[in-house]
Amino acid sequence: MIVQEQDERSGGPDGEGGVRRPRVQKNVTRAIASDICADVFPIGGFLPTENELCLRYGVSRTVIRESLKILESKGLVRGRSRVGTVVCPKEEWNILDQQVLEWIGPRIFELDLLTCVLDARRAIEPFAAEFAAERATVQDVAEIERAWERMRDAAGDLEAFTQADVAFHAALLKASHNQIFMQLASIIQAALEFSLHASNEAAAACDEAVEIHKRLVEALRLRDKTAARECSLQMLDLAARDLAIAVKNHPAPSGA
Amino acid sequence: MIVQEQDERSGGPDGEGGVRRPRVQKNVTRAIASDICADVFPIGGFLPTENELCLRYGVSRTVIRESLKILESKGLVRGRSRVGTVVCPKEEWNILDQQVLEWIGPRIFELDLLTCVLDARRAIEPFAAEFAAERATVQDVAEIERAWERMRDAAGDLEAFTQADVAFHAALLKASHNQIFMQLASIIQAALEFSLHASNEAAAACDEAVEIHKRLVEALRLRDKTAARECSLQMLDLAARDLAIAVKNHPAPSGA
DNA sequence: GATATTTCATTCATCATACAAAGGCAATTG
DNA sequence: CAATTGCCTTTGTATGATGAATGAAATATC
């Protein structure tokens, strides 16, 4: 998988026109990461040598090395000096990292992450809702409500509805004013997107979801911690149902 | 701050003319990160140019660039092409990343992270304890109990006690078999270490802590979810007390 | 004189090359 | 056959050159 456009002015090496040098760092990093996730480079195995990677992706060793450094800093690989670079087991990956989640993409399903995230949401979101009821500013509530309006107006459009739902929950975590909760927004977002996409039959439940989300907004306005927590729990029950549908729709990971 | 040993052969082995090239990547990365945390490079400001950083840390641009790439991948800085590298606001730092927490070190206090972590623990640990009561293997419980024994035997030695306590909670999260909870072990660990260190007056409370931790182990053995949750909550009350003492001992961050 | 355009210097992004250091393997030697 | 030693491979670091893009200074235009 060559990441450059590859036209390199075959007429002659930088004779008069100069060599094209597009910005490829991000692409290369993503390409290697995707290949790792796609099992092109199997877990526990060695990556090709840096020089081989140069050829494979069509870039210089500088770019390859900086990409590997990024991947290493996120736990995907571990460079052993003069031996090679090995792919780390998935447990060591920083799955809370936004970029890592993007690289994993839909394969988040195969990592059994969705149930983990749902369990974690049950622990976190009711708390976050309580904190938000206590500490949310008017701006925070306004942002949450804007997301809710987008949910309401997205009737039928699952893509728009998903984006709005994601924005709603991210804004709620932000309104909790707890840095830890905020940082978890990325993984909740990833799980939510995939879960909703994979269960588009659940579109019928959107009305119900809109209603509950609305009640949460009102609870925040009234600074009613108990009601906020209660709404959050009900949302999670809906999310659990969506997830169950998504699991049913999806090819069983054990069968792979 | 030069990170090399700086003696450059002046009389040492490899006589004729070889240049010593120690492995400095990690040191340089940590040095830059520490300087950022120490406000040597203020938030929102520009880092020196790459060439200036080479001089300052005594390494080549290769090393500097790979270090910056790592820092960028963790949200500490953002490289803007041909303009410079700016230090990101703290909200964008990946504070859930183990390395970032190590770089922050005791300054975790100034980030108001400790209360956030305690709130997050209140949300997470009781849940994790329930899950552990359901799903912990005998090995999991054995590991937790080993940590408990180390706590019991560490009477008086606050350092050993802290390490054991950290190990206990990490093992508990691991026993929950939830990948999200497990990934949060690093930040809980960082907060716990600092909190206990800063409140060494609380040594008197160790006996009480040992007792509660023991009860949690027994609850896990009996697979008693309710008791496990209850123990976890009591531990957090103790942690809250320790934190309050630590805050009192510490110079007020607002005064800085 | 004020504004829009151009040029230029600065700085990052990439490439290419060279060498040092150290792990792994194999040949050598006892 | 076993232990040592030396070589080869591969990563780690250094260096210089060049492309590319941004911000600001200089210029041109109205």
Confidence of residue A4 (pLDDT cuts 50, 70, 90): very low
Place of tokens 């008693």: B224
B184-B187-B193 Cα angle (round to 5):
135
Residue of chain B minimizing CA distance to A98: B94
B144-166 pLDDT tens trace: 999 999 999 987 788 899 999 99
Structure tokens at B13: 């082995």
Q: Are A177 and A135 in contact (CB under 8 A)?
A: yes
Q: Domains along chain A?
A: 28-92 (1.10.10.10), 98-249 (1.20.120.530)
pLDDT value, residue A2: 54
Structure tokens at A55: 């050829």
pLDDT value, residue A23: 80
The reply to whether A204 Cβ lies less than 7 angstroms from strand C is: no
Amino acid present at B224: D
Cα–Cα dist A42/A214, whole Å: 46
Q: Are A47 and A53 in contact (CB under 8 A)?
A: yes
- Cα Rg of chain A (Å, integer): 22
| B120·A180 Cβ contact <8 A | yes
Structure tokens at B91: 């909200």
Selected for mutation to probe chain B from A50, A78, A95, A96 (highest B CB count within 10 Å) is: A96
Amino acid present at A77: V
CA distances from A237 to A87, A125, A155, A209 (A): 37, 12, 21, 10
- Cα Rg of chain B (Å, integer): 22
Selected for mutation to probe chain A from B26, B60, B63, B73 (highest A CB count within 10 Å) is: B73
**Across A175-194, average pLDDT:** 95
Place of tokens 């009860």: B215
**Across A159-173, average pLDDT:** 94
Cα–Cα dist A207/B63, whole Å: 55
Q: For residue B84, give the 3-state DSSP assignment.
A: strand
Q: Would the pTM of this model clear 0.85, i.e. be above it?
A: yes
pLDDT value, residue A54: 92
| Exposure class string for A8-43: b at 16+ Cβ within 10 A, else e | eeeeeeeeeeeeeeeebbebbbebbbbbbbeeebee
Q: Are A158 and A164 in contact (CB under 8 A)?
A: no
**Across A174-201, average pLDDT:** 90
A120-130 pLDDT tens trace: 999 999 999 99
**Across A145-159, average pLDDT:** 90
Among the partner residues B66, B96, B183, nearest to A66 by beta-carbon distance: B66
Cα–Cα dist B70/A72, whole Å: 9
CA distances from A183 to A117, A187, B22, B173, B200 (A): 14, 8, 36, 18, 30
Q: Are B181 and A120 in contact (CB under 8 A)?
A: yes
Cα–Cα dist A87/A46, whole Å: 6
- Phi, psi at residue A117, to the nearest 5°? -65, -40
pLDDT at A202 over 60: no
pLDDT value, residue A195: 85
Ranking A16-25, A78-87, A135-144, B44-53 by mean pLDDT, the lowest is A16-25
Cα–Cα dist B89/A119, whole Å: 31
Q: For residue A55, give the 3-state DSSP assignment.
A: helix
- Distance separating the N- and C-terminal Cα atoms of chain A: 25
Nearest nt to the A53 alpha carbon by C1': D10
pLDDT value, residue A194: 87
Cβ-Cβ contacts under 8 Å between A and B: the total is 90
Q: Which of residues 12-31 of A touch strand C (CB under 7 A)?
A: 21, 23-25
To the nearest whole Å, the CA of B121 is away from the closest chain A CA by 10
